[in-house]
Amino acid sequence: MWSKHLAGRDMGLLVTGGAFDPGRPSLLCVHGSGGRGAEFSPLLEALGAAANGAALDLPGHGATPGPGRRSVDDYAAWVMDFLAAGPVRPVLLGHSLGGAIALSVALARPELLSGLVLWGTGARLRVLPAILEGLAQDFGPTVELLVDLAYAPATPPAIKDLGRQAMAATPPPVLWGDYYSCHHFDVMERLGQIALPCLVVCGERDRLTPPKYSQFLASRLPGAQLALVPRAGHMLHQEEPLAAAQVLRGFLGRLA
């Protein structure tokens, strides 16, 4: 069923969980700045048969050709085109920049979704000017800084190395555009318009979008559930996939 959404598109789409089962929930994951769909593999593997899982590569990331975009609305329009091209109306899980995209899709085309999971993100995502300047003028060290902030200090080095390689492989203009998109995103006054079932999840040790961001989302989204994942930083789907999957499995089960 996910293949029907591709409609001849040249793009990266990771699909897990075996044969598509219309009787179980479907989950589509959208990565954050400088990411790619493959980073959700640990989470989707932990979910197993609980969902028809998939994760896409945004334009300019992974296997999806560029150019990248420079606004959340433009990324959201691309995701909406993908969703509208096929029959699956998934729960949309958005991480960081992906969470901003998911919120924008929920506001513009809620009929394309069956639920929303906001994963280490916020209703506003300001970026320090020094980060934008560093990505433009001193790319390598700035990537190192961002990767260091993205993971909890106790995260195994091998996991951090995978994150570093993925971010460093993103073309510098695309990564800059991702953070520029985040910096100009703000839907704080519009959250009450979203009526979809919603789960808000954050790592307890997230230093990029700290728990207060998720607490704000949960307080303003009607009926939203909030879960904090112990020991996890910003990349909770890689750092604590089993604990994160357990939270997600409960939400998906209630929707089913």
124-178 tens-digit pLDDT: 999 999 999 999 999 999 999 999 999 999 999 999 999 999 999 999 999 999 9
State the helix-helix crossing angle for 72-84 and 97-108, rounded to 10 degrees. Answer: 60
Beta-bridge partners for 54: 15, 28
pLDDT at 187 over 80: yes
Q: Can you tell me which residue has the tokens 């999971």? A: 117
pTM: 0.97
Q: Alpha-carbon distance 205 to 243, whole Å?
A: 14
Beta-bridge partners for 158: none
**How far is CA 27 from each of CA 40, 83, 98, 252, rounded to the nearest angstrom?**
11, 12, 14, 9
Average pLDDT on 3-24 reads: 88
User: What are the residue ranges spanned by the domains of the chain?
Assistant: 2-255
* pLDDT for position 249: 96
- What dotted CATH number matches 2-255? 3.40.50.1820
* pLDDT for position 142: 97
Q: What band does 4 get if pLDDT is binned at 50, 70 and 90?
A: confident
- Strand order across the 115-119 sheet: 13-16, 52-56, 26-30, 91-95, 115-119, 198-203, 225-229
* pLDDT for position 138: 96
- pLDDT cut 90: percent of the chain above it: 92
